[in-house]
Structure 1
Amino acid sequence: MSARVRKLTELGVLTAVALIIFVIELQIPNPFPIPGIKLGLANIITVYAVYHYRAVEVAALVTVRLLLGAVFSGNFMALIYSAAGAYLCLIGMLVLRRWIDEKHLWMASVFGALLHNTGQMAAALIMLRTPQLLLYYPFLLLSGCLSGAFTGLCAQLITSRLKKKHR
């Protein structure tokens, strides 16, 4: 199998896994009364991919996951908020990977989660023109720190296990 086909297959599998995680997470009721707060478990795959693939490849993975996620959830309006958050997060993590090594990728994940929430908030402010939404922002940032640390630690665990397997 050529290297190109292998990489495309790997990215396809990662996208499918991220989408499956996303669909499963949709079934978990949100225990918080604040819209936009969720674990974001599919981002485990994104964080892993940021450290193992080229930027354009990770952007393609994120784009396909966002589009298919909107189809499977039936919520196309959420696509605007998800995309704003996901792409700001992706850009930030791609920049951060220059300074934060793979052994500390959980830190990049925390920053990514904060950027994701910032992108979502910016999209909501632009779309809804309701400044009162900013009252949610501190809660989103707190939840982003916690969920970003969790997803980052999961991605770091996966990375270290895969390295041991390939030795």
Structure 2
Amino acid sequence: MMSPYVYEPACSPHLAGRLAGSYPEILKITGSIEELLERHTAVVVEGAGGILVPLNETETMLDLMKALGFPVVLVSRPSLGTINHTLLSIEVLRSAGLSLIGIVFNHLEDSVPGNEDIENDNPGIIARFGDVQVLGNIPYFTARDVKNGIWEDFDRNMPGLDSISEAVTD
């Protein structure tokens, strides 16, 4: 089972659960992941919404992360406003005792004209102040880009792939 919960519409887990009449439960999620680990050498778990987003009425994604104890790859955006948000996320992860492998910057849209300096500077300043490795940058791309082979350059954009691979197979 890839995911024990699938909700519509796309919204925070607690709201989706409330609307569906069934909240996500950490024990059910961890049980599903344990089943996957019996069949696979590595399992990647994608969070929903952010570290402190409510999972249900009493628990957050952080509670799930702590229950799993997996090393974390933080995904952030490189755009205006990300420095404080990302450094706070790093602090929360470390305060919770979770192992942070590094950060991947995900470009959710084309660069806003005039913001190139910001998007080029933010990863470095976050790495320095957060004392964290930048694992790579995922560029913005469209469905057409995928058809045209954008993934052929993926390794160049993701120099930290080896760090991720090593952490998830340990």
* Fold agreement, TM-score > 0.5: no
Q: Which has the higher helix share?
A: 1
Q: Which has the higher strand share?
A: 2
Bucket of the pairwise TM-score, normalised by the shorter protein: under 0.3
Bigger radius of gyration: 2
